[in-house]
Copies of this chain bind each other. A is one copy, B any other.
Amino acid sequence: MAAGAGDDRRRQEILEATWQLIAERGYHAVRVADIAAVCGTSTGTIHYYFPGKQDVLTEALRHCVQQAFDRQQAALQKVTGAKARLLKLIELQLPKPGNVRSEWLIWIQFWAEAALRPELQPIHNDFYARWHGAVNRLIRRGQADGELRDVDPDEATHRFTALTDGLAIQLLSGAPGMDLPRMRRLLVDFVEQDLAVPPKRRRAAG
């Protein structure tokens, strides 16, 4: 049991180092030797846990996205109300320097890889479906609670997720005119103007 726990710890350590390297240098630039160097171990040890280079790279994408998703869900649980949670989600997803920006650099590469290599699509889509599902449940919950309008919840989910991804791309690729405050404002405006029940109508309905 103790060896199993140690194995698992070492495995996590390798995946952590790998996704950070992918975010920094790019999916195609990372070599197993780089991962071994960061972990202070040999390439043989890396291969003991992950037979091929593709195994460690793919598993690192999965690890990074899973961690981000778990962290976000835990943070959202602390917020009351569907609309407040959507606004919190916007804040949590802004590509601020640090981990969130690095996680976006993983996503942006994941899209490119998934678009070109169909064998990666099931992994990509599993996470995409979780993220889509989380937003979709928030929107339906907000509609049931009378906070959000009776728009088509599936279409609203696609709009919200696509807008988030598209704005993140503009920001990360350094597109002129896009920065964190503008990305935040455009997403908050979408929630307030396209999703939320206007305060007056809410009072009239209540």
The interface of chain A, by Cβ under 8 A from chain B, is 25-26, 28, 105, 108-118, 121, 124-125, 128-129, 132, 154-155, 158-159, 161-167, 169-170, 172-178, 182, 185-186, 189-190, 194
Contact = CB atoms under 8 A, between A and B. Distances in A.
A174 B125 contact: yes
B172 A111 contact: yes
A111 B112 contact: yes
Q: How many copies does the complex hold?
A: 2
A128 B132 CA distance: 27
Contact of A176 (B129, B165, B170): B129
A158 B174 contact: no
Given A110-B173, A164-B166, A169-B169, 19 more contacts: A25-B116, A26-B113, A26-B117, A105-B115, A105-B116, A111-B169, A115-B174, A121-B174, A124-B174, A125-B175, A129-B175, A132-B177, A154-B177, A158-B170, A162-B167, A162-B186, A165-B165, A165-B166, A194-B194
